[in-house]
Chains A and B, each alone.
Chain A
Amino acid sequence: MNMFFELVRFELKKILRRKRTVIVLAFAVIVGALSVFGTVIGTYYYTDENGSEVAISRYEDDMIERQDGEALSGRVIDADLIMEAVEAYKSVVPLENGNYIGTSQYQDNARKYSEIYGIVRRTFHLSSLAEFQNLTRGQAEQFDAVRRQNMEQTIMNGAASENVRKYQQKCLNNSSATLTYEYWGGYYRFVTIMYTTALMAGAAIAVMLSGIFSDEYTSGADSLILSSKHGKGLVIGAKLFTAFSVSAVLIALLSGISLIESFIVWGTNGANASLELVSGVFPYPLTIGQAVLLYFICMLAGSIMFAAITALFSAKLKLPFNTIVIMTALLIIPLFISIPEGAPVWISCLANLLPVGMFTFWGAMFEFQYEIFGLVIPPYIFLPVFALLVTCICSYFAGRGFKNHQIT
């Protein structure tokens, strides 16, 4: 075991002493650290009822939103709260162009209920401000019933098997009858920022690990390694372990930085809020805190899978540059492919199995489940299991590729 970790230490040394590693690592950490602050840099402009342009910094705007959100936190979304919001919105008179964000009525009275407005509109399928303003108390009292009815309809309408429907119904039965509002700005910003940060980390992993095997071929050190006692066994394990550790640590580090920064700017509220608050289509019986933790696990597993695929190409393609090109393409190409609405669900399910899919919060919390031999598995469990499986397969073939490498 000591020998294994001694080899891991040297593999790590090799990776960290490469110039390209130092450059991409520094870039990833700096950009990762600054990306949170990037979202609060800049200014919002809107026109008020006098036709004047009002400017407010994004940071200031976000802080108002946080203050409003925290003030409402802990309140059950019931008829009272909904009608309070409706009353506040009734005072809003839109401008001629239909815009109302800039009006003082909105800013002073309604804005603090904007989150409730969004949830109610989504639940009642309201298409305009006027429809919300005309919402009756009787309708508001039906909020929880309509919410449940929507979810039941989603289950019935979804192109899912009987097993999946049963699973979804079970989840629905376990969900709470009422919905409590919680401000979750810190977690929201974290999951939003982490998507791009994880993509950047993926690119850094591709660059750092592209030479994990192939640098040995190009430098000629393969002769020494493969003719040594552990050259065809332990060292392969050490290389793969190092690759997985590097990618996991990088993702964990960037996630940690983003999470702490998000908490500093937007607070830690919302961990105990129901996921239903943010996902109306089909929510899993999870709190936002649990969902974010599961997303982190998916992201971690995705990055390890990405490292394993990189190692496989590194062992097979001989040149690090070729591996970098392929792995970057694997990251970037899916970003340009949009799945059309109405396309079969399995396409989205498959797309979520790509590393990019595992880097998104909504990939981990996707409303459709995977069914294997009648067993229904939610994505936040299936994705890491799938990643582990792909990691094992890629590791086996990467190891075999290196072991059987012929020196000519």
Chain B
Amino acid sequence: MELKIDRVTKKYGSKIACDRISTTLHNGVYGLLGANGAGKTTLMRMMCGLSKPASGNISYNGIDVSQEEYRDMLGYLPQNFGYYPEFTAQDFMMYISALKGIPKSRAKAKTAELLEMVSLKNEARKKIKTFSGGMKQRLGIAQAMLNDPQILILDEPTAGLDPKERVKFRNLISRMGADRIILLSTHIVSDIEHIANTILVMRSGQLIHEGSLDEIISVIDGKVWECIVSSKTADELSLKYPIINTRNENGSVFLRLVSDEKPCENAENAQATLEDLYLYYFNEETAEDQAI
């Protein structure tokens, strides 16, 4: 059981969105990490057959992404998924079931089960236009699981979920990942940290790292520092290094930052986390995003 991505490239005009990406995914949960515009969504769309690569192939056990057989094994939650405002949650689930070729009787049972799982059982007969953002997102998660997919691709699945729902979702994904491939992208680094067996890091359309959490953060081992400095020094350091955390402490400033070398005299090494790695790699993009 392997999902093979072989030298996949996608261009939009002169911009390369994905640049010769190659990897092989096996059963388990994969977290896709990258700043805005890194190419995560483009890669996911290509993996769902929604966007044709300029070159390269994507296949699951030899079945090409363009085939109906591939789509039969696929569950997908797009970043901003479209729904029919006048449909009820039940209608919507039944429609997606029909699209996925699930017989009516099985679809009904599966719909009831999934709506209960995402806490929408009591809202099954309500029109989607009356739903909050979080409710719509939960409905999106439910529809992706209707066909019990072998490949589950989730683009920003936890966006809009409250903390309780997020924890519930993470547990669910962890359970499901045992016998299928799950690829999820999110900006919420802690979600990936908690559930992903393997983390894929994308930058400027390229896959720059792939590995377990420990393997990934080993890249910045010894580069995360904590220090307490004056406000003036804090300002100077924040111009030079990616700051992960800052807080006032008795007139001084506590800083957690990423740096190749010791940033100041009293700085001490700290245990690296995925968030540190994210900031280390995507500091520039994050700064640009903030400027925008």
Contact A407 B50 (CB under 8 A): yes
In the complex, which residue of chain A has the Cβ closest to the Cβ of B67? A232
Contact A225 B68 (CB under 8 A): no
A145 proximal to B (CB < 8 A):
no
With most chain B CB atoms within 10 A of its CB, the pick from A13, A224, A226 is: A224
CB distance from B57 to the nearest CB of A (A): 17
B48 proximal to A (CB < 8 A):
yes
Contact A227 B98 (CB under 8 A): no
**Whole-angstrom CA separation of A220 from B81 in the bound complex:** 6
Contact A224 B80 (CB under 8 A): no
Among A223-249, those with CB < 8 Å from B are: 223-235
A174 proximal to B (CB < 8 A):
no
**Whole-angstrom CA separation of A219 from B91 in the bound complex:** 17
Interface string of A1-37 (1 = CB under 8 A from B): 0110011001001100110000000000000000000
Of the residues B12, B52, B71, B104, contact of A227 by C-beta under 8 Å: B71
Q: Contacts A220-B82, A221-B82, A228-B99 hold; do A407 and B51 have CB atoms under 8 A apart?
A: yes
**Whole-angstrom CA separation of A223 from B52 in the bound complex:** 13
Of the residues B80, B86, B98, contact of A17 by C-beta under 8 Å: B86
Interface string of A392-408 (1 = CB under 8 A from B): 00000000000000111
Of the residues B45, B68, B82, B95, contact of A229 by C-beta under 8 Å: B68
Contact B50 A223 (CB under 8 A): yes
Of the residues B12, B74, B95, contact of A10 by C-beta under 8 Å: B95
B49 proximal to A (CB < 8 A):
yes
How extensive is the interface on chain B, given as a class? 20 to 34
Contact A223 B101 (CB under 8 A): no
Among A205-223, those with CB < 8 Å from B are: 216, 219-223
**Whole-angstrom CA separation of A233 from B104 in the bound complex:** 19
In the complex, which residue of chain B has the Cβ closest to the Cβ of A404? B52
Contact B86 A224 (CB under 8 A): no
Q: Which residues from A are CB-within-8-Å of B78?
A: 220, 223-224
Contact A408 B104 (CB under 8 A): no
**Whole-angstrom CA separation of A47 from B68 in the bound complex:** 77
Interface string of B66-103 (1 = CB under 8 A from A): 00100110101010111110110001001110111101
CB distance from A98 to the nearest CB of B (A): 63
Of the residues A2, A216, A223, A229, contact of B104 by C-beta under 8 Å: A2
CB distance from B279 to the nearest CB of A (A): 29
CB distance from A228 to the nearest CB of B (A): 4
Contact A226 B101 (CB under 8 A): no
In the complex, which residue of chain A has the Cβ closest to the Cβ of B146? A228
In the complex, which residue of chain B has the Cβ closest to the Cβ of A235? B99
Among B15-48, those with CB < 8 Å from A are: 45, 48
Contact A231 B12 (CB under 8 A): no
Of the residues B48, B82, B147, contact of A219 by C-beta under 8 Å: B82
Contact A229 B147 (CB under 8 A): yes
**Whole-angstrom CA separation of A276 from B63 in the bound complex:** 65
With most chain B CB atoms within 10 A of its CB, the pick from A220, A223, A226, A230 is: A223
Q: Contacts A224-B143, A226-B50, A227-B48 hold; do A7 and B98 have CB atoms under 8 A apart?
A: yes
Residues of A in contact with B (beta carbons under 8 Å apart): 2-3, 6-7, 10, 13-14, 17-18, 216, 219-235, 406-408
Besides A17-B84, A18-B86, A234-B101, 18 more A-B contacts (Cβ < 8 Å) are: A6-B104, A7-B99, A17-B86, A17-B87, A220-B78, A220-B82, A221-B83, A223-B45, A223-B48, A224-B76, A224-B78, A224-B96, A226-B49, A227-B49, A232-B71, A233-B68, A408-B12, A408-B51
The 8 closest A-B CB pairs, nearest first, are: A220-B82, A221-B82, A228-B99, A219-B82, A17-B86, A223-B78, A227-B48, A407-B50
